[in-house]
Amino acid sequence: MTTGWTDKEMAVRVSKEFPDGCSVNLGIGLPTLIAGCIPEQVQVFIHSENGIIGMGPDPEPGKEDSDIVNAGKKPVTLVSGASIVHQADSFSFIRGGRLDFTVLGALQVSAQGDLANWRIPGGKGVGGVGGAMDLAVGARHVFAMMRQLDKSGKSKLVSRCRFPLTAPQCVTRIFTEMGVIECDSGEFVVHELAPGVSEQQMREAIDAPVRFKH
């Protein structure tokens, strides 16, 4: 029986990667949990691509400001020392190589580090790409934070992405409920197993060559 990390524990694990003074962009979905897990002694500037550098926690009920929202259009707050930029500057910050980390949700990650996270083929309508492609090519470190298996039990860590790519060879680290994994030219390299997860279980939950780093 796999135990592994809860979503919250995954978020805490990712937050340990951030050095003091760095900048971080958190994607919609699971990665938003990370904002509440960053240790107090570490100062991190959270970027929201709609134009906030220095995003704070959720507002108290009744204290929402309709002009302060995150990339998911949800009310947030600003930390002391925050700044506001327009869209072109916000993405210059990303694409220009200044953003230290982005943590994105993923539909599939390949063993080459290709990321697919914006469209399911055959889905209805036109889809939406938002800022995902800019973040994937621009951030210094691109983390994928995801459940390792899809709803039908298939691995999302694959030899080749079947879903449309967000960007090729961009993911530098993967965090799932089962552990911490990197991509190394066609192989997934497992750096850490979550508590209660065996090497065998991890191997079975990856649909590509696997190596364990001891």
Partner 1 sequence: MNKISDSAAAAVKDIKDGSVVLVAGFGDIGVPLELVHALADTGARNLTIVSNNAGTGEIGLSRLFRNRQVSHLIASFPSQAGADHFFAAYAAGGVTVELVPQGTLAERLRAGGSGVAGFFTPTGYATELADGKEVRVIDGRGYVYEKAIKGDVALIKAHIADIYGNLRYRLASRNFNPVMAMAAARTIAQAGRIVEPGEIHPDDVHTPSVFVNQLVEVSA
| Minimum separation from the CB atom of position 91 to partner 1 (A) | 3
Residue with tokens 């707050």: 77
* Among 14, 30, 35, 68, interactor with partner 1 by CB under 8 A: 68
26 binds partner 1 (CB under 8 A): no
Is residue 158 at the binding interface for partner 1, with CB under 8 A as the rule?
no
Nearer to partner 1, 87 or 198 (CB): 87
What gap in Å lies between CA 31 and CA 102, rounded to an integer?
9
The whole-angstrom distance between residue 81's C-alpha and the CA centroid of its chain comes to 25
Give yes or no for residue 35 binding partner 1 (CB under 8 A).
no
With CB under 8 A as the contact rule, the residue among 165, 171, 197, 202 that binds partner 1 is 165
Parallel/antiparallel/unpaired status of strands 52-56 and 101-104 = unpaired
Q: Is 56 in the site for partner 1 (CB under 8 A)?
A: no
Q: How far is the CB of 145 from partner 1 (least distance, A)?
A: 20
Give the integer Cα–Cα distance in Å for 73 and 23: 20
Is residue 162 at the binding interface for partner 1, with CB under 8 A as the rule?
A: no
Distance between CA atoms of residues 106 and 47, nearest Å: 19
Under rule CB under 8 A, which residues in 93-132 are in contact with partner 1? 94-95, 125-132
Strand partners, 69: 75
The answer to whether 85 contacts partner 1 (rule: CB under 8 A) is: yes
The DSSP line for 122-165 is T-SS----TTHHHHHHH-SEEEEE--SB-TTS-BSEESS--SPP
- Residues taking part in catalysis: 49
Residues of the shown chain interacting with partner 1 in the complex, contacts defined by CB under 8 A: 48-52, 65-69, 73, 78, 84-88, 90-91, 94-95, 125-134, 137-138, 164-168
